[in-house]
């Protein structure tokens, strides 16, 4: 009886699906006809000349915005930028840039690449690129001018603090490769550490090479995989990295599209490198996509302890579809499900008009890891050991966002030829006093949330005709806050010093120095050490029922 019912259902499903497809085909033909008519009439009748290409791109982007933020149109002019996301490679000078004080500015030359070789420094404001005036241009526009065929020349005219006249630099563009692993080390406690920032091509091979060298050179007590801030990349690289630590043939992720024939199962392809070494994975709210596949699979298989904050919650898969005239479209084709069977997608874009598409807690479902631990779908991946995210005071945030820390580090680097090893460099009283004098000379001010609330209360009181009655008290409160604010740079010295150390270290040791400085007082890394060096605690997290 069950078989007959199933057969009848399938017979019904096939013609129904065909009906829906035919209906959609008619609607598509109708819509294209209307679109063509609109474009034709605009070209014939609109009062000014139109740019059909620009209008067409605007129409496409507006249409795709109705779906999800990951389904995007890629015109021919942006193909190189898209390839950078998958290969980690591009032709250019090798530097981060940012809009500062009205100019696109060099903020971080990459070690070993043309910007560094030519002596470009953080803080150099770009005045011209190959004779083209850079003032008023966006960072994206300047980026396009800086990129080009490896081996070609680019001439920059720069304004450098401390130099009376503009300086010129000629750089030979090179193939720039963004490292998937910008830093790795083995700490004195024999815990290995790998910072993974991308999942571009060969990420798994690079990871395996780094980890293998660690095991060959040291008796590891554990491994920390740092996925914080890693926005993802290629799915197959995530599968292969997971496969380094679990059995060959292990299910890592299943992708499911619109129809059953669009289901794909991804299993590990090679023998593992190490199945026993204790692992901690650091995650935060910016760990997304491929990062969540690695973290989620290792959690579901009880192979690692996750430490940090809940992850981003991107459980969608995109494919690239070639279009006419060398354009492309990146389109969401499936949702993915990690070994426990859960999908960690947080936003339901089909219902984003309802509460922003966020799935309420009441609609999340419980799943089980291999050892029987309860985990949930939706809303990203909850870490096994949750920690509060690092927050900064209003004064620290304002100093950082206003580029005061960046500018002071530039001045410091000009005045000090070296700082010694990053591990021993500290922000002493002399350096901190110099910094406070610097920000004072720059006229630094900031507004606290308390002050914003007072101003809002004053506006409301004015509207309700109570201002005369409450204004004296509000002014007294403002003065009290001002007195406290004057001491904020001293009160929050520890966190400001940490930001200063990270920024200054980058001037001398580039990205590696920045990471080393940031790890020194990293609470999540310290927690990972604690867990990995205590096997009772490690096993109690992964196998709680066994340890009751």
CA angle 390, 391, 393 (to 5 degrees): 150
Distances (CA, A) of 298 to 228, 256, 281, 340, 452: 16, 20, 9, 11, 45
Question: Are residues 482 and 382 in contact, defined by beta-carbon separation less than 8 angstroms?
Answer: no
The Cα 232–Cα 201 span in angstroms is 12
Containing 226, the helix (H) or strand (E) segment is strand 222-226
Alpha helix ranges (H) inside 46-123: 52-65, 79-87, 114-117
Question: Are residues 508 and 414 in contact, defined by beta-carbon separation less than 8 angstroms?
Answer: no
Among this protein's residues, is 300 annotated catalytic? yes
Of 137, 314, 485, 501, catalytic? 314
The Cα 210–Cα 110 span in angstroms is 21
- C-alpha dihedral sign at 448, 453, 455, 456: positive
DSSP 242-289: HTTSS-TT-EEEEEE-SSGGGEEEEE--S--S-SSS-EEEEE-TT--T
Of 184, 287, 289, 291, catalytic? 289
CA-closest candidate to residue 39, choices 52, 48, 58, 54 = 52
Alpha helix ranges (H) inside 402-492: 404-415, 429-441, 449-463, 467-485, 488-491
CA-closest candidate to residue 376, choices 336, 341, 335, 334 = 341
DSSP symbol at 113: S
Among this protein's residues, is 314 annotated catalytic? yes
Structure tokens at 125: 């404001």
Among this protein's residues, is 287 annotated catalytic? no
Of 68, 240, 300, 302, catalytic? 300
Burial of 452 (0-12, 13-18, 19+ CB in 10 A): exposed
Active site residues: 289, 300, 314
């Amino acid at each position: 009886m069950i078989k007959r019912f199933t057969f009848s259902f399938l017979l019904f499903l096939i013609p129904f699906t065909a009906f829906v497809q035919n209906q959609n085909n008619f609607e598509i033909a109708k819509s294209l006809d209307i679109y063509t008519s609109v474009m034709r009439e605009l070209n014939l009748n609109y009062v000014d000349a139109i740019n059909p290409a620009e209008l067409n791109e605007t129409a496409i982007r507006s249409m795709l915005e109705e779906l999800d933020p990951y389904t995007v149109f890629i015109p021919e002019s942006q193909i190189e930028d898209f390839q950078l996301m998958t290969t980690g490679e591009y032709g250019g000078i090798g530097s981060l840039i940012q809009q500062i004080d009205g100019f696109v500015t060099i903020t971080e030359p990459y070690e070993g690449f043309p910007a560094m070789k030519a002596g470009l420094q953080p803080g150099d404001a770009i005045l011209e690129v190959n004779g083209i005036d850079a003032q008023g241009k966006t960072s994206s526009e300047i980026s396009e001018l800086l990129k080009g065929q490896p081996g070609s020349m680019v001439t920059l005219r720069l304004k450098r603090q401390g130099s009376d006249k503009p300086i010129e630099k000629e750089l030979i563009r090179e193939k720039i490769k963004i490292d998937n692993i910008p830093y790795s080390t083995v700490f004195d406690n024999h815990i290995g550490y790998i910072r993974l920032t991308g999942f571009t091509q060969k990420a798994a091979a690079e990871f395996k090479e780094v980890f293998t060298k660690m095991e060959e050179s040291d008796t590891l007590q554990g491994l920390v995989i740092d996925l914080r801030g890693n926005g993802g990349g290629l799915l197959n690289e995530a599968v292969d990295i997971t496969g380094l630590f679990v059995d060959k043939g292990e299910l890592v992720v299943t992708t499911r599209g619109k129809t059953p024939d669009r289901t794909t199962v991804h299993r590990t392809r090679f023998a593992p490198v190490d199945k026993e070494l204790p692992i901690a994975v650091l995650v935060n709210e910016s760990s997304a996509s491929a990062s969540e596949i690695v973290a989620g699979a290792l959690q579901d298989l009880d192979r690692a302890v996750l430490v940090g904050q809940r992850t981003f919650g991107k459980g969608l898969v995109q494919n690239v579809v070639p279009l006419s005239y060398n354009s492309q479209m990146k389109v969401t084709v499936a949702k993915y499900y990690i070994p426990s069977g859960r999908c960690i997608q947080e936003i339901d874009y089909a219902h984003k008009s309802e509460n922003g598409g966020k799935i309420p807690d009441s609609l999340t479902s419980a799943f089980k890891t291999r050892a029987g631990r309860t985990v949930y779908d939706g809303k990203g991946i909850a870490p096994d050991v949750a920690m509060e995210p690092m927050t900064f005071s209003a004064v620290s945030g304002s100093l950082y966002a206003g580029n005061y820390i960046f500018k002071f580090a530039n001045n410091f680097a000009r005045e000090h030829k070296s700082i010694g090893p990053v591990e021993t460099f500290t922000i002493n009283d002399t350096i901190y006093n110099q910094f406070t004098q610097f920000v004072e000379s720059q006229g630094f001010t900031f507004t606290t949330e308390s002050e914003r609330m007072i101003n809002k209360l004053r506006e409301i009181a004015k509207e309700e005709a109570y201002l005369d009655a409450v204004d004296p008290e509000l002014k007294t409160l403002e003065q009290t806050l001002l007195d406290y604010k004057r001491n904020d740079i001293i009160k929050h010295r520890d966190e400001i010093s940490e930001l200063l150390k990270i920024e200054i270290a980058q001037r001398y040791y580039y990205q590696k120095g920045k990471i080393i400085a940031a790890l020194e007082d990293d609470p999540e890394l310290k927690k990972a050490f604690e867990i990995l060096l205590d096997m009772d605690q490690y096993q109690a997290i992964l196998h709680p029922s066994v340890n009751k």
